[in-house]
């Protein structure tokens, strides 16, 4: 069987899971194409998703789509990417497998949202997976929620998912019902419905800026931005003007060797994030979410550990 794994992973956790899934499928004798779209200029800066996919993607039976959970939803750019996928045909398989990593606050409604988007694009969802991972890391943040995750505890789930995908080659499974992914309680669904990722990025998170005095024009931040929103203009990086909306992944901040990128409001921006993370680290969650089990493959069968 041919499997395509497409992954968007600003901080690398989802990519790690995708790599492990690839290895397990290859071990089972399947042909796997792993396509990491993080930072692909053609998609995020040039708006050439269709041409890029036509050039890159090989014929497959199953497409697996990996992304982080942002604001309890499918990360915004991944959502747009899924909407822009070609419908199933001789190249594009009709089976889909969404998988997410989330930072231990809540996987929110990401899986059911992905199911809806994939079904709208003419696909049937075969299985789905969520894996708890490290939350946002930055040199300037003292707290790291879930440091070191995903680790070995994720392996049985990835094995289980690979087994479900492999089984699809021998049988004609019924598609997964969206109801199965509707696992959050009323409160969590209500909060998710109120959370608008664009609004949060525009108005709630601090705006990032480059300190021109410190910047030595090494261009590492440009290469690190997963949505290619930092332009290289006249020998300098630029993150102002009419660029795609920042997703506050802090990849540019982490890539900068001279700490030249920070919040416009300086220390207050960092302190605001630190407060939230310290609370998550202390209490396990920001607001109580029904996140049990923490890792899962749906339909729910607990893999033997």
Ligand X SMILES: Cc1cc2nc3c(=O)[nH]c(=O)nc-3n(C[C@H](O)[C@H](O)[C@H](O)COP(=O)(O)O)c2cc1C
Q: Which residues bind ligand SF4 (CB under 6 A)?
A: 208, 210, 215-221, 224-225, 227, 229-230, 237, 239, 246-252, 255-256, 258, 260-261
Cβ closest to ligand X, residue 101 vs residue 143? 101
CB of 103 to ligand X, least distance (A): 3
**Which of ligand SF4, ligand X, none is residue 70 near (CB under 5 to 8 Å by kind)?**
ligand X
Applying CB under 6 A, which of residues 25, 158, 222, 249 lies at the interface with ligand X? 249
**Which of ligand X, ligand SF4, none is residue 108 near (CB under 5 to 8 Å by kind)?**
ligand X
Who contacts 27 (Cβ-Cβ below 8 Å, separation ≥6)? none
Which among 21-29, 99-107, 175-183, 292-300 is the span making contact with ligand X, rule CB under 6 A?
99-107
Q: Which ranges constitute the DSSP H helices of the chain?
A: 13-27, 41-44, 49-56, 76-83, 110-120, 155-167, 186-194, 197-199, 220-224, 251-255, 267-283
Helix axes 110-120, 76-83, angle to 10 degrees: 20
Cβ closest to ligand X, residue 103 vs residue 269? 103
**Which of ligand SF4, ligand X, none is residue 193 near (CB under 5 to 8 Å by kind)?**
none
Task: Report CA Rg, the chain.
Answer: 19
Can you name the residues that pair with 95 across neighbouring β-strands?
A: 62, 124
SS3 273: helix
* Residue pointed to by tokens 């968007």: 8
Can you name the residues that pair with 57 across neighbouring β-strands?
A: none
Spatial separation of the C-alpha atoms in residues 243 and 231, rounded to whole Å: 8
Cβ closest to ligand SF4, residue 5 vs residue 224? 224
**Which of ligand X, ligand SF4, none is residue 218 near (CB under 5 to 8 Å by kind)?**
ligand SF4
Spatial separation of the C-alpha atoms in residues 238 and 216, rounded to whole Å: 13
SS3 271: helix
Cβ closest to ligand X, residue 30 vs residue 135? 135
Contact 258/219 with Cβ under 8 angstroms?
no
Applying CB under 6 A, which of residues 81, 99, 102, 298 lies at the interface with ligand X? 102
**Which of ligand SF4, ligand X, none is residue 49 near (CB under 5 to 8 Å by kind)?**
none
Q: Does residue 19 bind ligand X (CB under 6 A)?
A: no
Q: How many CA atoms lie within 13 A of 284 on its CB side?
A: 6
Cβ closest to ligand SF4, residue 161 vs residue 227? 227
Pattern 106-125, ligand X, x by CB under 6 A: x-x-----------------
Cβ closest to ligand SF4, residue 3 vs residue 225? 225
């Amino acid at each position: 069987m041919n499997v395509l794994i497409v992954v968007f992973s600003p901080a690398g956790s989802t990519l790690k899971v995708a790599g492990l899934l690839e290895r397990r499928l290859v071990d089972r004798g399947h042909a796997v194409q792993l396509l990491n779209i993080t930072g692909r200029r053609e998609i995020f800066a040039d708006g050439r998703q269709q041409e890029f996919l036509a050039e890159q993607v090989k014929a497959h039976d199953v497409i697996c789509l990996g992304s982080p959970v942002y604001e309890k939803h499918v990360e915004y750019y991944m959502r747009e990417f899924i909407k822009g996928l070609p419908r199933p045909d001789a190249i594009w398989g009709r089976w889909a497998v969404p998988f997410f990593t989330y930072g231990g606050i809540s996987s929110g409604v990401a899986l059911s949202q992905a199911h809806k988007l994939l079904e709208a694009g003419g696909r049937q969802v075969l299985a789905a997976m969520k894996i708890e991972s490290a939350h946002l890391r930055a040199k300037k943040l003292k707290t790291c929620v879930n440091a070191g995750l995903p680790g070995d505890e994720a392996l049985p789930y990835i094995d289980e998912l690979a087994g479900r995908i492999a089984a699809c080659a021998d049988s004609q499974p019924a598609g997964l019902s969206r109801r199965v992914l509707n696992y959050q309680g009323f409160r969590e669904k209500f909060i998710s419905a109120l959370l608008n990722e664009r609004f949060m990025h525009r108005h709630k998170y601090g705006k990032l800026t480059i300190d021109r005095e410190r910047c030595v024009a090494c261009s590492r931040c440009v290469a690190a931005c997963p949505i290619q929103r930092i332009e290289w203009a006249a020998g300098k990086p630029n993150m102002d003007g009419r660029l795609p909306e920042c997703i506050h992944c802090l990849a540019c901040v982490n890539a900068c060797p001279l700490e030249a990128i920070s919040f416009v409001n300086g220390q207050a921006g960092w302190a605001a994030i630190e407060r939230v993370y310290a609370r998550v680290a202390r209490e396990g969650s920001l607001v109580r979410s029904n996140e049990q089990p923490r890792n899962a493959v749906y339909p729910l069968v607990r893999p033997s550990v």
